Structure 1
Amino acid sequence: MIIGTAGHIDHGKTTLVKALTGVDADRLPEEKARGITLDLGYAYAPAADGGVLGFVDVPGHEKLIHNMLAGATGIDFLLLVVAADDGPMPQTREHLAIADLLGIRRGAVALTKCDAVTPERQAAAADEVRALLAGSAFAAAPIFPVAARDGGGIAALRTHLDAAAQAADRARDDGGRFRLAIDRCFTLAGIGTVVTGTVFSGSVRVGDTLTVSPPGFAARVRSLHAQDRPAERGDAGQRVALNLAGDFSRDAIRRGMWALDPRQHLPLERFAATLRLARDEAQALRHWTPVHVHLGAEDVTGRVALLVGDTLAPGTEALAEVVLDRPLCCVGGDRFVLRDTSATRTLAGGRVLDVFPPTRHKRAPARLAALRTAAAGDLAATLAQQLAANPTGIVLERFAQGWNLTDDAASRLWRTLELVRVDTRDGTLGFAPAAWAALGEKLLAALAAEHERAPDMLGAEHERLRRLTSPTLARAAFDRLVDEALAAGRIAQTSSWLHLPEHRATLSAADGDLWRTLSPLLDAAPFQPPRVRDIAKATNLAEDTVRALMKRVARSGRLYPVALDHYFSDDAVERLADIVAALCAEHGAARAADLRDRIGGGRKVAIHILEFFDRIGYTRRVRDQRGTKDEHVLREAAAPRQWKME
């Protein structure tokens, strides 16, 4: 358990920590010379159950709140220190407000310097503390009168902390990928770079490769200490020191950065959150107020954009978007504190709800409803609402990243909602079962409408049907939709045309007679068929008559317009596709010269054929390694073959 001190300057926080642990947490020469704490201090003590209690001692001066916040965001238990002679003072109140805004709910009060006051003053100070705590999360926190210098009351306080640590271990959720908020970075001779911080989630082991974020460089864990002891592993809730090695300079790492699982490297400049203004604020918080944002051990400036109304009254909550002046890292559920631009007053606190906020319609009712669901803390309901709002699916890895879910936790969530999952180049798309079924119905409706519009056509090409069904649907998802419809017999495929099983496209009697006259000319040279003008000359027909017939036959699925006025039979296109696939397998790509040699004829026709396959989505054009010649490679979704004509 990590215990954080809090309280006014000169109320004996560091002295109390030394009485509890035997360690002087003031490590800087200036701190020892001046007798005040300037930066975070750390101490450790064996716990009754064999574990280790970690203490973060924070400075109490009003000008050092930013240092206090760097340590407060990672603590489990608040030890509020109040001197019996002074009673609650300004930083007592501010530190308590910060703990409340950070969502810290477990704590105790150490009433210090009891040996320097009368029993009556001690009782009065305890009453003042009770009045201060009333109405807060610490209203029932026990008060321990102590005299740190002679040890009075220390044993009772220590017993309580041991019991609280055992309860914290039983209640702790160690889920999530590894995230450590760096609050110190230094170099040791013969060891190298060392960073320390509190582990927010997950675990780390010696030998792991982490990402230091936001910069994004890799660092390998050479060794580590957990709770001030050499260890092979560090876990959530522990104070951990990591000896990092990697290709980075000595000053590349600073307080406020994160050492984390590479999959959680997610620098961002805005996030949506629920925000609560401090109860004792004198004025309402206005939309677009500039602030200091304290999250993890970071302090970055930014602004608050309220999503409901233009002001937030003291003591009330609202949905907001926090816009940052430079990137930081966070995930859903992280707590943060806002202070004013002069960094002299704590304004508000909140909890991150969405690290991928939309750029438009931020105040739309559906968007606000989704944020309120996220605020309730039910991830299944949050995901279900996102899926309902995105019928073309959401990237599941992105959702898992935003909420820091392990692979096992994410898989359990996907199974709970019985999601339809489709692997794509950008990740796994997830669909609610009802939304997936609705897409299937839209596909059938789109085909039916196409048949009604063009009854003389065999059906719709694959890509055209995707645009008619849902133009924003990922191609991999549409391929899966088509495959399922074909397997169920709900649609049929003839050559490259998709259609309803009962639909038939037939030429008129006159067109059929004319086509039977002309088709032998194309079959005679399948890879070098005559152009429209050549067919017209050979048959003494008008060019316009031949051209119009070719277009009508192409609509029935028997021809493809490979180039202007140059039609190939469907059988020829199938065979050419096999040849192109073979060239790609043999040479890594298909080139016009190789295709020309394989099929005969001129290079210009070979170029037209390859450009046709690019156009319909079977291949894509790339440049060779020297950048001098065009090559054509198969697209990932080219097999099984489904032409994607425009």
Structure 2
Amino acid sequence: MTLVIGTAGHVDHGKTTLVRALTGVDTDRLQEEKRRGISIDLGFAPFRLPSGRAAAIVDVPGHERFVHNMAAGVHGMDLVLLVVAADEGVMPQTVEHLDILQLLGVRHGLVVLTKVDLVDDPAWLDLVEDDVRASLQGTFLAQAPVVRVAPPTGHGLDRLLAALEEAAARVPPRDAGGLARLPIDRVFTVTGFGTVVTGTLVSGTLRAGDRVEVQPGGLPARIRHLQVHGREVSEAAAGQRVAANLAGVDHTLLRRGQVLVHPGTLAATQWLAARVEWLPRAPWPLRHQERVRVHAGAAEVLGRVRLLEPARPWQPGESGWALIRLEEPLVAAPGDRFVLRTYSPPRTAGGGLVADVGRPWTRRAAPGRWLAAFLADEPATALTARLERAGRPRAAADLAREVGQPLSRVEAALAGAAAAGRTVPVGNGFWVAASVAERLAREVRAVLERYHRERPLEPGMSRDALVHVLQAGLPVPGAGGGGTGRVPEPEAGAALQALLEAWVARGILAVRDDRFHLPGWEPAAGAADRQRLQRIEAVYRQGGLAPPASAEEAATAAGMAPAEVLALIGLLERQGRLVRVDTGLWFTPEAIAEAWRRLRALEREHGPFTVAQARDALGVTRKWALPLLEFFDRRRWTRREGDLRRVVGGPEGPAAAGVWGHGDSNQTGTGAR
């Protein structure tokens, strides 16, 4: 595994000189840096440990005016060399750099006491080392070795290399299986190649030829060439310093702070919900809507802090939950760390851990409970919390983008949660928290119970109507306040469709002709309804082979309202007392049986027959004859042979309710008219 080693420390304490002694590379590449004799921007040098392990060194500026550049280089560090000059000891930027390292989660390092050749008094060196150790109490470097060196003479470098080798062995590997993320810290052009970006690949893998995009901006590009430590490679893995030669994007559109990602995996956001720490050394309390400088990855963006919990101003040394509204978008994902610096004058005052992105949380949403759950160490627990907070089914692909993880990992975690009874797969890639599924099932059953009670003649609710009712009570995505309202399509509609099908499969609901109802429920008529049913049925019986041509005509004949008649006709159809032959056209089973007998007699006497002959045999106009013939064609009781038809089958047994069912209820004929 390639290692990224960083420097940190006060200006003029010998960081660049130390890097040059270790690597032979002068990381001060700018003319102004050479003229002024101090580092201004990040510098980089390839390096090999005595074991042969490849590494890269990121040299950061130490001047207080360039702390923003220093913060941009820390995000990729695996191990840090905190450099303290023996002739000066701990200085302001020593402390500030240490705070930044702590806030950004660096956990491995050494302390390098430089310029020991300038100190003649051994007691003074011991005093400085004691002061350094006192300053490191409570930090990740509290137990780190302190190595005394004099780079110009080479004194102590062998001990430093040995200590580096030992520290490097304790650094865990980067996440090569995660989503590819290359925060860009340099952009330039190379004659004959074009645009080049560099950075530390913090997770995932990049390959030559990959299609990528630069966020923020969504700028598409293709990786033409890759280099790791100046060597051409076909693939770069997490933890390596990478130079990517990009085709298809102009270098003038790129800048430090953007991120190279694979398309559709990570997007920029202007909302960060986070656990925020306000340092004991912060210059003043953190107030609601405080304007700050946010350093995340290689980016620096202005933003305002909205205090969530506690809601009062935070004194130095306090921490809590906050929402940061950024003035420009940046790429971030749950689990990322960031630094907060005051707006003016710029001073490092705090930092935090991202728990959620892209949502404007409010205080009334009790965010602390949810955000803490989102940061659970176990992915299954964190994802279950997100599903519980959503209050609705969500696509695994959307969750993967939200948490900045590969879809395969998210699906595996959700499956693990399902095995423990915490989540439920609902099909089509959607998942729902088990507790949410139970609540929604209770709600949908209550809706259907009310619907059956109020409309006893209806077969059930249509799919669209039931989805609409469910949508109306779901939380709006991104509503931190927990309000409800119609969830925009297509995500909610597709999710609820999948949930309905899952309920049917589990027997929680039943469906018939795309109408949803409670299991075991059947339309039923009261005494008054039974009288109306008899009136409608009588109209169709009287019509015989020429019944009402529409529900409206039937309503007029029965002296009833059309809407009322349509529900009654539907019940008669489900009971087998009417048969739908075409859209809006019903016959009694007896009339259909009579029509079939007449057509069979016609064929026996004359052979195959035309529509006109059938019409005359039935004694009706073409308006009734043709739909009947097409109904018989679909039932395969008749067969078309050009312009003629033959009788090839028919109803078995006497005409009776239920003989033909109503499977043709939404079919229309295709025969010649």
TM-score by length of 2: 0.77
Structure 1 residues 641 and 150: alpha-carbon distance in aligned structure 2, compared to 1, 3 A threshold:
farther
| Post-superposition offset of 1:284 | 1.5
Unaligned stretches of 5+ in structure 2? 475-491, 587-621, 624-662, 667-673
Is 1:142 equivalent to 2:145 in the alignment? yes
Matched residue SS, 2:68: helix
For residues 207-246 of structure 1, give each alpha carbon's deviation from its aligned partner in whole angstroms, at most 9, with x where no partner exists: 1111111010111111111233221111111111101111
Match of 2:328 in 1: 326
CA distance in 1, matches of 2:54, 2:432: 46
Deviation, 1:188, is 0.5
Q: Is the 8 A contact 1:497 1:557 kept in 2?
A: no
Q: Which amino acid aligns with 2:516?
A: L
Q: Is the Cα–Cα contact under 8 Å of residues 340 and 348 in structure 2 kept in the other structure?
A: yes
What displacement does 1:380 show? 2.0
Alpha carbons 1:521, 1:530 under 8 Å: kept? no
Alignment partner of 2:189: what SS? strand
How far the C-alpha of 1:19 sits from its partner, in A, is: 0.7
Aligned partner of 2:523 in structure 1 is: 504
Matched residue SS, 1:313? coil
Amino acid at match of 1:136: T
Kindly provide the amino acid, as one letter, of the partner of residue 337 in structure 1.
Answer: V
Distance 1:335 1:495, change over 3 A: closer
Q: CA deviation at 1:48?
A: 3.3
Match of 1:572 in 2: 582
**Segment drifting more, 154-163 vs 324-333:** 154-163
In the alignment, which of 210, 217, 221 is matched to residue 223 of structure 2? 221
The Cα of 1:91 is off from its aligned counterpart by 1.2
Deviation at 1:56, TM superposition (A): 0.6
The verdict on how the C-alpha distance between 1:503 and 1:322 changes in structure 2, with shifts beyond 3 A counting, is same
Is this contact kept in 1: 2:551–2:566, CA < 8 A? Answer: no
Counterpart position of 2:407:
407
- Superposed displacement of residue 61, structure 1: 1.0
Mean alpha-carbon deviation: is it higher for 375-384 or for 485-494?
485-494
Matched, 1:421 2:425: yes
User: Aligned partners of 2:381, 2:81: CA distance in 1, in Å?
Assistant: 36
Answer whether contact 1:101 1:337 (CA < 8 A) is retained. Answer: yes
Partner of 2:568 in structure 1?
A: 553
> Whole-Å Cα distance in 2 between the matches of residues 557 and 461 of structure 1?
19
Residue 104 in structure 1 maps to residue 106 in structure 2: yes
Structure 1 residue 375: deviation in Å?
3.6
- Contact preservation (8 Å) 1:423, 1:476: no
Residues 1:190 and 1:289: Cα distance change in structure 2 (over 3 Å): same
- Within the candidate set 540, 543, 548, 1:519 is matched to 540
SS in 2 for 1:381: helix
Note the alpha carbon deviations across 1:165-219, whole angstroms, 9 max, x for none.
2332x54443410000100000010111110001111011111111111010111
Give the distance between the partners of 1:152 and 1:641, measured in 2 at CA: 94
**Where does residue 199 of structure 2 map in the other structure?**
197
CA distance in 1, matches of 2:143, 2:664: 70
What is the alpha-carbon distance in structure 1 between the residues aligned to residue 9 and residue 261 of structure 2? 31
Contact 1:440 1:481 in 2 (8 A): no
Q: Relative to structure 1, is the Cα distance of residues 16 and 494 closer, same or farther in structure 2, using a 3 angstrom cutoff?
A: closer
What is the Cα deviation at residue 404 of structure 1?
1.9
Q: What letter corresponds to residue 524 of structure 2 in structure 1?
A: A
Question: For structure 1, which segment, 517-526 or 8-17, has the greater mean C-alpha deviation from structure 2 after superposition?
Answer: 517-526
Deviations along 1:68-123, one digit per CA (max 9) or x if unpaired, are 11112221112111111111111111111111121212111111110111222211
- Aligned residue in 1 for 2:163: 160
Alignment of 1:119-130 (within 5 A): 119-130=122-133
Give distance in 2, aligned partners of 1:557 and 1:514: 11
Closer/same/farther in 2, CA of residues 159 and 388 from structure 1, 3 Å limit: same
Amino acid aligned to 1:191: F
Instruction: Give the C-alpha shift of residue 382 in structure 1.
Output: 1.8
Identical amino acids, percent of aligned pairs: 37
Do the aligned residues in 2 keep the contact of 1:521 with 1:535 (CA within 8 Å)?
no
Alpha-carbon deviation of 1:124? 1.7
In angstroms, what is the RMSD of aligned CA positions?
3.0
> Does structure 1 conserve the Cα–Cα contact (< 8 Å) formed by 2:16 and 2:59?
yes
How far is the alpha carbon of 1:36 from its aligned partner? Answer: 1.3
| 2:81/2:111 contact within 8 Å kept | yes
Gaps of 5+ in 1: 560-567, 577-599, 602-639
- For residues 494 and 255 of structure 1, do their structure 2 counterparts lie closer, same or farther at Cα, with a shift above 3 Å needed? closer
Sort the Cα spacing of 1:394 and 1:492 in 2 relative to 1 into closer, same or farther, 3 A: closer
Distance 1:306 1:557, change over 3 A: farther
Q: Could you report, residue by residue, the CA deviation over 1:9-67 in whole angstroms, capped at 9, with x for unpaired residues?
A: 11111000011111111111222222211111101112234331211111111111111
> 1:641 and 1:327 mapped to 2: Cα distance?
56
- Looking at structure 1, the residues matched to 364 and 579 of structure 2 have their Cα atoms a distance apart, in angstroms, of 55
User: What is the SS of the residue equivalent to 1:221?
Assistant: strand
* Aligned-partner Cα distance in 2 for 1:173–1:549: 65
Letter in 2 for 1:124: L
| Cα distance between partner residues in 1 of 2:166 and 2:154 | 20
Give 1:496 shift: 4.5
Determine if contact 1:521/1:529 at 8 Å carries over to the other structure.
no
Partner of 1:394: 394
Residue range with higher mean Cα deviation, 269-278 or 478-487 = 478-487
Q: What whole-Å deviation, never above 9, does each CA across 1:244-283 have from its counterpart, x for those lacking one?
A: 111x323011111111121333111111011111221242
CA distance in 2: counterparts of 1:205 and 1:435, whole angstroms: 41
Partner secondary structure for residue 5 of structure 1: strand
- The answer to whether the 8 A contact 1:495-1:570 is kept is no
Q: 1:420 is matched by which residue type in structure 2?
A: V
Closer, same or farther in 2 for the Cα pair 1:52/1:523, shift >3 Å? farther
2:549 to 512, 524, 529: 529
Distance 1:471 1:572, change over 3 A: farther
Query: Which residue number in structure 2 is paired with residue 585 of structure 1?
Result: none
Aligned residues: 561
